[in-house]
Amino acid sequence: MTIDPNQDLGACRAFLQAWARRMSGPGSHSDSVQEALIKIDAKKATVRGGHRAMRAWMKAILRNVIIDRRRASPKNRTFVIQSFDERLHDRPANGSPEDDASRAELPKLVWDAVESTLAEDEQKVIRLKFDGGLSHAQIARELHRSEDQIDRLIHRVLERLAPKLRRLL
């Protein structure tokens, strides 16, 4: 099937929707496809080549739109974290001395898990975040890194810690 954005926008839309499903799975891709069609329409005069070149060009535009939308949207996987102290106080207490003792011991166990699992620089970031209460921007300034690096580092670290922390908490 020949696709020419100059003549058949409907065929372009169907082609792009099929590719959007291939690239990012099931779901609604109408916003991404619409944004790609707008970009295609704006730049269609610049494309040289035949049918294959046009299809490859349209797929590249769609791919970039999808990537840009993913980067701009909140992370797909979020990990909501309360401070360790809030999490400890949320636990129901049975009132027994053993429970009280285990509750008092829990912060030490959490930090032991942090220290046994993470590298030194990762531990420092976690301590600044949760003990120091610093924002990602403040941590980035203190460690002379970008805020994006700190965001990614904290996300990766929390994913690695999550199984251990779930067992403790």
C-alpha span between 162 and 81 (Å, rounded): 10
Q: Looking at the domain that runs over 84-168, which CATH code has it been given?
A: 1.10.10.10
> In the structure encoding, which two tokens stand for residue 158, read together?
């929390």
Can you give the residue ranges of every domain in the chain? 9-72, 84-168
Q: pTM of this prediction?
A: 0.42
Q: Per-residue pLDDT tens for 93-113? A: 555 555 554 555 667 777 888
50 token code pair: 């035949």
Dump the DSSP string for 90-155. Answer: HSPP---HHHHHHHHHHHHHHHHHHHHHS-HHHHHHHIIIIIS---HHHHHHHHT--HHHHHHHHH
pLDDT tens digits, 115-152: 888 889 888 998 888 888 888 899 999 999 998 999 99
Q: Of the spans 39-43, 82-86, 120-124, 158-162, which averages the highest pLDDT? A: 120-124
DSSP annotation of 49 reads: S
